[in-house]
């Protein structure tokens, strides 16, 4: 009986040891799975944290982009307002220039008339004298008018073109005839048929001349 009892106890001990080993193995497997789960959770948390950080960065970029757009819109509004002011200023400037030009033209015409009126007066006197005085008096009046006109042209910086003996210049002379001449050299002016005029560098009218061959 004692041997059988010991045998039974040994069997129970072996079963108990086996059960303990199985439980320990299962506990280790649970621990390993727990560790894996915890690791995956940490990885997921890390990914979520990175995504949250990226989302926060996107939000910051959106806020900055909106601020930039608002700033650009404000600058555009200022530019539009400045452009309107410039257009108005330019329109006023053109109007003032036009008014000044009109005044200048009027003043120029007035000054011209003031210079020509005495000449007209002398013409009228010369005409009147032709009915009551001799021809010499009429010629003297006409010469006076001519001198006044010449003086007026000189005051306006107008230069007369074409003088006898002067060398022909196609830029300011118009040769309407050529004649042989013993007194003048070839291409020298022997007669001025119509005086030319020049103001500064601009030819108003070329002189009509006769030139020696």
Q: Where do the domains of the chain lie? A: 159-213
pLDDT of residue 102: 84
In angstroms, rounded to a whole number, what is the distance separating the alpha carbons of residues 1 and 137?
A: 189
Consecutive H or E run containing 95? helix 2-132
Using pLDDT thresholds of 50, 70 and 90, give the confidence band for residue 117. low
Q: What's the whole-number mean pLDDT along residues 20-24?
A: 66
Architecture (CATH level 2) of domain 159-213: Roll (2.30)
Phi and psi, residue 162, nearest 5°: 100, 105
Prediction pTM value? 0.44
Tens of pLDDT, residue by residue over 76-98, are 888 888 889 988 888 999 999 99
């Amino acid at each position: 009986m004692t041997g059988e009892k010991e045998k039974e106890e040994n069997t129970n001990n072996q079963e108990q040891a086996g059960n303990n080993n199985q439980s320990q193995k299962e506990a280790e497997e649970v621990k390993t799975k727990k560790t894996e789960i915890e690791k995956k959770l940490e990885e997921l948390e890390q990914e979520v944290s990175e995504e949250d950080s990226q989302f926060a960065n996107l939000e910051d970029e959106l806020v900055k982009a909106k601020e930039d757009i608002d700033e650009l819109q404000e600058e555009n509004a200022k530019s539009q307002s400045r452009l309107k002011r410039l257009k108005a200023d330019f329109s006023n400037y053109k109007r003032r220039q036009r008014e000044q030009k009109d005044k200048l033209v009027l003043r120029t015409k007035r000054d011209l008339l003031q210079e020509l009126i005495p000449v007209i007066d002398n013409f009228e006197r010369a005409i009147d004298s032709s009915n009551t005085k001799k021809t010499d008096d009429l010629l003297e009046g006409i010469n006076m008018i001519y001198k006044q006109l010449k003086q007026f042209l000189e005051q306006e910086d107008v230069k007369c073109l074409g003088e006898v003996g002067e060398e022909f210049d196609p830029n300011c002379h118009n040769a309407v005839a050529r004649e042989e001449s013993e007194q003048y050299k070839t291409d020298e002016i022997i007669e001025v048929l119509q005086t030319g005029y020049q103001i500064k560098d601009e030819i108003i009218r070329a002189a009509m001349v006769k030139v020696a061959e």
